[in-house]
A and B are shown apart, each in its own frame.
Chain A
Amino acid sequence: MKPRTRRLFLGREGYRRRRAADATRVVMAAFALAALLPPIWLPQYFSYALGTVWLAATWSLTILATAALHRILTQPPAEDEDDA
C-alpha cells in the first residue's frame, strides 16, 4: 500500500490553510442549521416575507464566506515549510 504521509505539525501558512478548511465545515453546519431550524421551529413566522429575507440573507452570507475561505485555500500548500 502506498502510505499517505501527513505532517504532524505545520508552519504558519499550512496551519492557516488547515483552519480555513475547518472553517468551511463550520460555515456549512451553520447554514444547515439556519435553513432548517427556524422554519421548522416557527413556521408561522418563517413561511412568508420574514422567511424570505432570512433565507436570502443567510444564504448570501454563506456564499460570501465560502468564497472568502476558498480564496485562502487557493494559496499554494506550504506544508513543506519548517515549523515556525
Chain B
Amino acid sequence: MTPETLGAAAIAYIALMFLLAHAADRAAARGRWRWMDRPVVYTLSLSVYCSAWTFFGAVGYASRSGLEFLTIYLGPGIVFAGAWWGLRRLLRVARMHRVTSIADLISSRFGKSAALAALVTLISMLAATPYIALQLQSFTMAISVFAEPGDPLPGNISLWVGIGLAAFTILFGTRNLAADERHHGVVMAIAVEAVVKLAAFIAVGTYVLWGLADGPADVLARIDRLAESPEGQGWLIRPDRWFTLIALSGAAVVVLPRMFHVLVVEANDEDRLRHAGWAFPAYLAAMSFLVLPIAVIGRDFLPADANPDLYVLTLPLSQGLDTLAALVFLGGFSSAMSMVVVSAIALSTMMANHWLVPLWLWLRQATLSAPAGAQEDLGALMLNARRLAIVAVIGAGWVYHQASGGTAALAAMGIVAFSGMAQVLPAMVVGLSWRGATRRGATAGVLAGALIWAQMVFLPSLGLIAPPVMPAGIDPFAGAVLLALSVNLTLLILVSLIDFPDPVERMQALSFVHAIAPDSTPNEAAPSTKSEELLTLAGRIWGSENALEFFRGMAEQQGKSGYLPDLTPRFLVDFERRLAGTVGAATAAALMTRVVGRGGVTVADLMEVAGEASQAREANRRLELTSSELARTAAMLRETNDKLTALSAHKDAFLGQISHELRTPMTSIQAFSEILKEPGLSDEDRSRFAGIIHDEASRLTRLLQDLIDLAVLEVGSARLKPAVINLHDLIERALAASGATAPQRTFTIQRNRPAEHMSVITDPDRLLQVLINVIANARKYCDAEFPVIRIDTRRAAAGGTEIDISDNGSGIAPESRALIFEKFARLNDPARAGGAGLGLAICKEIMEFLGGRIAYLPGRGGACFRITLPARPPVSQANDAN
C-alpha cells in the first residue's frame, strides 16, 4: 500500500461524498427528505465531535496520560444523559429565534447586539484555526506512515487536502441562502462518514483486543502491570485536570461552532434528542473504550520510538494487515473531513453574518429597498461572503499548519480550542436561565475570559510567550482555565447586577429565559406603503420566488388575497425572525430598522406590554382562536366590500360605455349606408365608404365576441380542447399577433428561448388568447422610454408551468391592483386603451377555466403578470370534451 494508492483512495472517497451530498440535496430540493430527517442521521451527524484528534490523537493521549483521555468523552456523556432536560430547552429557544450560530444565539439573547456577535465570532475563529491545522496535520502524518523510509512525500499534500475540502464545503455549504440554515447534503455525508470512522475504529480495536491481546482481561492486566512501571506515574489521575477537562468537554460539545451547528442549527425538532440522548453517548463510549487496548498493546508490541499518535495505523501495518490499515486511514480521513467541513460552514456563516455583512451595510448607506434590478443581489453578496469566509477559515488553518510546522505544538490544540470556546458558556447558560443577565455583563465576562485565555493558554500554546506560573501543585492549564472562567462568570454577574438593560434586551431576555415566542411592542406597526419595500428586500435575500411565497402565505393568514400582507406588528415580528434565520438577529434588526424605520422601543412600551399581558392573559387564551378567525373573515369582507363598491361604480360607467361603444359603430354604419344609397357616387368613394362600414362592423363583431366569450366562460358552458403543445411556439405566435398593438414603438423582448421549449397540456387557443392579451397590454401601457418586455417560463415546484410577463414601465398602482381582473375595469383613459376593459377579465376567466390562474406580481419594478398552468387541465371538462 503506497501513499499514492491511499491518496487516490482518499480522492475517490471525497468524490463518493460529493455524489452522496449531491443526491441528498437533490432529494431534499424535491421535498423527499423525510428519510434523511431521521433521528439516526441526526445522531450520526453529532459524531463530528470525534475529529482526527480523537481518531489518532486519543491513542497517543492515552499512552502518555492514561485514563485522562476519557475526560474528553465523559463530559459529553454527562451532558447528553441530561439532554432531555437541558439541551431540549436550548433547541426550543434556538428554533424559536431561528438562531444560525452560537454567536447569533448570544447576540440575539443580549438585545441583538452586533458587537457581542462579532466578539464571539472572533473567539471561535481563533480557537478553530489551530484545530483545523491539526486535521490537516493528522492527514499528512497518517499518509506519511505508508511512505517508504527515505522516500519523502510531496510537501504540498496538506494544501491539496485543504483545497479539496474548501471546494466540497463551498459546493454543498453555500448552494443557496435558505431561510433556515440546514444543509441536507452535508449532514447526510457526515452521517455516512460517522459510520465509516466507527467501523474502521471498531475493526482495528477488535483486532487488537482479540487478535493481538487475549481479550479485555488481558488488557486490564497489562494496565495494572504498567501501573508499577515508571511510565505508570504519568497515568495517575490529577484531580484538578480531571475535573477541568470533564467540565470543558461537556461545554465543548455544545458551544464548539461545529457542534452547535449540527446539534442545534441542523435539528428539525427537539424530539430527536430522545434518541441522541443515549445513542450519541453509546457512539462515544464505543470509540473511546477501544482506545485503551490500542494504546496498551501498541506500547508492548511496537518499538519504543514509535509515535503513539499513529499506533492505530502502525499496529495493523506491523502485522502486515495493509487492508485494515487502509480502512483505518479512510476512517481518520473521514473524521478530519467532516470536522473541517462542518467547522468551515459554521464559522463562515458567523463571519459572513457578523463581520462581513454588517461591515458592508455600514460602508454602503444605500437604500436597501430600491426595486430589484436597480440594486445588486444581496443574496448573492451574502453567499459570496460565506464562500470567501470558507476559504479564509481553511486557508488560515493551512497557514497555521505551515507556520507551526511540527506535531508538538498541535497535539494540545484540541484542548486549547475547547477552553477558548468555553468562554462563551457562562453567557449562554446564565443568559438562558437568568433574565437579569445583561449585554454589558455578557460582553465584560466574555471579553475578560477570552483575554485571560489568550494570555495564559492560547499564546503559550503557540510558543509565543511562556506558560503561566502557578502555585506548586496546581496544573498550569487547569489553573488558567478555572481562573478565566471564574473571572468571566463573576464579571457577568456583577456587571449585570448594577446594569440597567435597554428594552429590546429585556424583551429578548424574557423570550429566551421563559421560552416564550417573541412578541411585538405597540409602536411597531409601520405604514402599509412599506410592505412592497419589504418584499423587495426579502426578494433580494431569499430570491424573489421564495419571498413571494412567504408573503403570499402571510397575506393569506391575514385573509387577504395577493402578495402584500398588511404590516401588522405580528407580521413584522415574524418577518424579522425569518430574516434572522438567514442573516442573524443583529443584522436582521438593522435591516428592518433601515427599511421600515422603526423607532426604538421604550421602557414605557415595555410596561404597557407587560401590563396588558398580565391582565388579559386568561381571556386572551380563550379568545385567541375566535378572534383570529374573526379578523380573517373581517379582512376578507372588507376586501370584498371595497371591491364591490368600486365595481358598482364601474358597472354604471360600463353600461354607459358599452352603449356608447355599440352605438358609435352602428351610427356610422347607418350613416354611410344611407350615403351609399345616393346615386352618382364615384367608385372610389363608394369603395371607401364600404370599407368604413366593414371596419365598423368588424369592431362591433369583436366587441360582441368578447361579451359572448365572457358570458360563455362565466356560465361554464365553454368546452376545453386539450392538446400537447410546445410553449415556445405559442409564445412566438403570441408575440407575432400582439405586434399589431402600438406598432410604432420598438420593444426589446427578453426571453430565454431554450427554457421555453417545454410541452404543456392545455387548450392552446385559449392560452394563446391570454398570452396575446397580456403582451398587448404591456405594449399598450408600458410607459418607459426604452420599453422592454421580459418573458420567463419555468416548471413550478408543484408540477405546473409558470409564465411571467413583465415590462419596465411604472406598473400598476397598489390601490388599483385589486380591480384589474374585474370586468368593466379599465384603469386609465378609455381613449388610449381603445377597448371596453374586458381583456384581463377574460384572461382571468380563461385561466380559471384552464385550471390555472393569472396574478399580478408586485415588487418587480414594472407591471408583471404571472400565468400559472396546472400540470394537467381539469378532468371533468376534459372528459366533456371527449
Q: Which residues of A contact B (CB under 8 A)?
A: 1-5, 21, 24-25, 27-28, 31-32, 35-36, 39-40, 43-44, 46-49, 51-53, 55-56, 59-60, 62-64, 66-67, 69-70, 73-74
A49-B223, A60-B285 known; A70 vs B278 contact (CB < 8 Å): yes
Determine whether the beta carbon of A47 is less than 8 Å from that of B220: no
A65 to B136, alpha carbons, bound, how many Å?
39
Determine whether the beta carbon of B81 is less than 8 Å from that of A70: no
Determine whether the beta carbon of B275 is less than 8 Å from that of A70: yes
A49-B223, A55-B67, A67-B278 known; A3 vs B621 contact (CB < 8 Å): yes
A2-B517, A66-B281 known; A48 vs B77 contact (CB < 8 Å): no
B contact residues around A52 at 8 Å (CB): 67, 220, 223, 289, 292
Q: Contact mask B395-433 → A, CB, 8 Å, 1/0?
A: 000000000000000000000000000000000000000
A53 to B282, alpha carbons, bound, how many Å?
16
A31 to B223, alpha carbons, bound, how many Å?
24
| Interface hits, B50-73 → A, CB 8 Å | 66-67, 70
Determine whether the beta carbon of B67 is less than 8 Å from that of A28: no
Chain A, residue nearest B275 (CB): A70
Identify A40's interface contact among B236, B237, B277, CB under 8 A.
B237
A1-B609, A21-B85, A48-B235 known; A66 vs B67 contact (CB < 8 Å): no
A contact residues around B83 at 8 Å (CB): 24
Chain B, residue nearest A39 (CB): B237
A contact residues around B82 at 8 Å (CB): 24-25, 27-28
Considering only CB atoms and an 8 Å cut-off, how many residues of chain B contact the other chain?
49
Determine whether the beta carbon of B221 is less than 8 Å from that of A48: no
B84 is an interface residue with CB less than 8 A from chain A: yes
A31 to B83, alpha carbons, bound, how many Å?
13
Expressed in whole angstroms, the minimum distance between the Cβ of A3 and any Cβ of chain B is 5
Determine whether the beta carbon of A43 is less than 8 Å from that of B274: no
Identify B74's interface contact among A24, A59, A63, CB under 8 A.
A59
Determine whether the beta carbon of A73 is less than 8 Å from that of B274: yes
Determine whether the beta carbon of B620 is less than 8 Å from that of A35: no
B246 is an interface residue with CB less than 8 A from chain A: yes
A48 to B609, alpha carbons, bound, how many Å?
60
> Which stretch from B224-232, B330-338, B523-531, B638-646 is at the chain A interface?
B224-232
A21-B84, A35-B78 known; A44 vs B274 contact (CB < 8 Å): no
B243 is an interface residue with CB less than 8 A from chain A: yes
Majority secondary structure of chain A interface residues (helix, strand, loop or mixed): helix
B contact residues around A73 at 8 Å (CB): 84, 274
B242 is an interface residue with CB less than 8 A from chain A: yes
Expressed in whole angstroms, the minimum distance between the Cβ of A18 and any Cβ of chain B is 12
B716 is an interface residue with CB less than 8 A from chain A: no
Identify B226's interface contact among A2, A4, A24, A48, CB under 8 A.
A48
Determine whether the beta carbon of A48 is less than 8 Å from that of B227: yes
Determine whether the beta carbon of A32 is less than 8 Å from that of B236: no
A63-B281, A70-B274 known; A49 vs B517 contact (CB < 8 Å): no
B306 is an interface residue with CB less than 8 A from chain A: no
A contact residues around B621 at 8 Å (CB): 3, 5
Q: Contact mask B20-41 → A, CB, 8 Å, 1/0?
A: 0000000000000000000000
Chain B, residue nearest A29 (CB): B82
Determine whether the beta carbon of B74 is less than 8 Å from that of A46: no
A43-B239, A52-B67 known; A28 vs B81 contact (CB < 8 Å): yes
Chain A, residue nearest B511 (CB): A1
Expressed in whole angstroms, the minimum distance between the Cβ of A74 and any Cβ of chain B is 6
Expressed in whole angstroms, the minimum distance between the Cβ of A68 and any Cβ of chain B is 9
Chain A, residue nearest B240 (CB): A40
Identify B516's interface contact among A2, A40, A48, CB under 8 A.
A2
A contact residues around B74 at 8 Å (CB): 35, 55, 59
Expressed in whole angstroms, the minimum distance between the Cβ of B854 and any Cβ of chain A is 39
Chain A, residue nearest B621 (CB): A3
A28-B78, A39-B237 known; A4 vs B67 contact (CB < 8 Å): no
Seed contacts A24-B84, A48-B226; 11 additional CB < 8 Å A-B pairs: A36-B242, A40-B239, A48-B66, A48-B67, A48-B227, A49-B223, A52-B67, A63-B278, A63-B281, A66-B278, A70-B275
Offer 20 A-B interface pairs, CB within 8 angstroms, sorted by A. Answer: A1-B510, A1-B519, A1-B613, A2-B517, A3-B618, A4-B515, A24-B83, A25-B85, A28-B82, A28-B85, A35-B77, A49-B221, A52-B220, A60-B285, A62-B281, A63-B282, A63-B285, A66-B277, A70-B278, A73-B274
B598 is an interface residue with CB less than 8 A from chain A: no
Identify B70's interface contact among A21, A55, A74, CB under 8 A.
A55
A contact residues around B66 at 8 Å (CB): 47-48
Expressed in whole angstroms, the minimum distance between the Cβ of A82 and any Cβ of chain B is 20
A31-B77, A73-B84 known; A47 vs B243 contact (CB < 8 Å): no
Expressed in whole angstroms, the minimum distance between the Cβ of A42 and any Cβ of chain B is 9
A52 to B620, alpha carbons, bound, how many Å?
57
Chain A, residue nearest B276 (CB): A70
B contact residues around A40 at 8 Å (CB): 237, 239, 242-243
B contact residues around A25 at 8 Å (CB): 82, 85
Determine whether the beta carbon of B516 is less than 8 Å from that of A4: yes
A17 to B394, alpha carbons, bound, how many Å?
46
A39-B239, A43-B238, A48-B224 known; A66 vs B81 contact (CB < 8 Å): yes
A3-B620, A62-B281 known; A39 vs B81 contact (CB < 8 Å): no
B617 is an interface residue with CB less than 8 A from chain A: yes
Determine whether the beta carbon of B289 is less than 8 Å from that of A39: no
Q: Which one of A24, A46, A69, A74 has the greatest number of beta carbons of chain B within 10 Å?
A: A24
A47-B235, A52-B223, A63-B282 known; A70 vs B84 contact (CB < 8 Å): yes
Expressed in whole angstroms, the minimum distance between the Cβ of B161 and any Cβ of chain A is 34
B contact residues around A4 at 8 Å (CB): 514-516
Q: Which one of B83, B281, B515, B617 has the greatest number of beta carbons of chain A within 10 Å?
A: B281
A39 to B74, alpha carbons, bound, how many Å?
13
A47 to B381, alpha carbons, bound, how many Å?
54
| Interface hits, B217-260 → A, CB 8 Å | 220-221, 223-224, 226-227, 232, 235-239, 242-243, 246
